Amino acid sequence: MGVSVRCASGLFLSPAFLLSLSMPVLSSPQGVPYHPAGSPIWQSKARLRHRLTSTRGDLIFNDHGVEFRSAKGSILSWPFVEIRTVTLATSRRLSLTSYANRRRHWPGDREFRFQLSAPIPPDVAAALVNSVGKPAVNGDPDPRAPSFAMIPARHRTRTGGTNGVLRFGQDGIDYIASPGDGGRSWRWADIETLASPDPYHFRVGGYLETFEFELKQPMNGDLFGQLWDRVYARDLNVTRPGGEQHADQ
């Protein structure tokens, strides 16, 4: 069953969240939502990156999947079921990996990388990830999403790191980085492990990548217990760290 996502305008984007391919598609250089017959659609001018060159065109999200219409008239399309994963490194950089083999018998699945002219809105990014359904990397968290707890944090990287805020909400965990690049959004279903070795350190282990955080304020045991329940205790009777028995209702 699909999951509906509320966008900033108040509309609901279902897993089949965009307009049918049989409907006319209008070019939108600004990347703004367009609503023919009351159904939402989003697209942007984009470049499909190759090893040495790129192809100009329009990247479109529709109710079947993702489509790229090149300026020369050719069309590439990926139904959601045929997309292995998506990676939103930033709001303007998207890549998708299909189940198709790479060319020339190279090992691995085929990846398509896009540079977008317009940023993907966070609500559309969340809808895309939900529609694909498999584990993904979403680097475009929504800073307006409601949360039940927040902790300022730092994520260290090989080149330095970022400062931001960890936000814990009904749909998952968001790291909102300042000035913007380096953020992440994890659905609860995409989190494989959580760890808090001490009150000032926290680790999110996703199926595709792991982030370790230094916390600027301590995480108490009650909050970690809530997070533990959402990752490990969905529809199960399990024992939290420390021995407390919990049953989800």
In sequence order, which residues have a C-beta less than 8 Å from that of residue 249 and are 6 or more positions away?
none
Domains delineated in the chain: 5-137 (2.30.29.30), 149-237 (2.30.29.30)
pLDDT of residue 159: 84
> Of the ranges 24-38, 44-58, 74-88, 180-194, which one carries the lowest mean pLDDT score?
24-38
pLDDT tops 60 at residue 107: no
Q: Which residue has the higher pLDDT, 28 or 76?
A: 76
| pLDDT tens-digit series, residues 183-236 | 999 999 999 999 999 999 999 999 999 999 999 999 999 999 999 999 998 655
pLDDT of residue 19: 37
Model's pTM, two decimal places? Answer: 0.76
Which span out of 14-23, 49-58, 220-229 was modeled with the highest average pLDDT?
220-229
Which of 145, 109, 114 lies closest to 127 in space, CA to CA? Answer: 145
DSSP 100-136: EEPGGG-SSEEEEEEEESSPPPHHHHHHHHHHH-S--
In sequence order, which residues have a C-beta less than 8 Å from that of residue 129 and are 6 or more positions away?
86, 88, 136, 138, 185, 187
Average pLDDT estimate for 7-14: 45
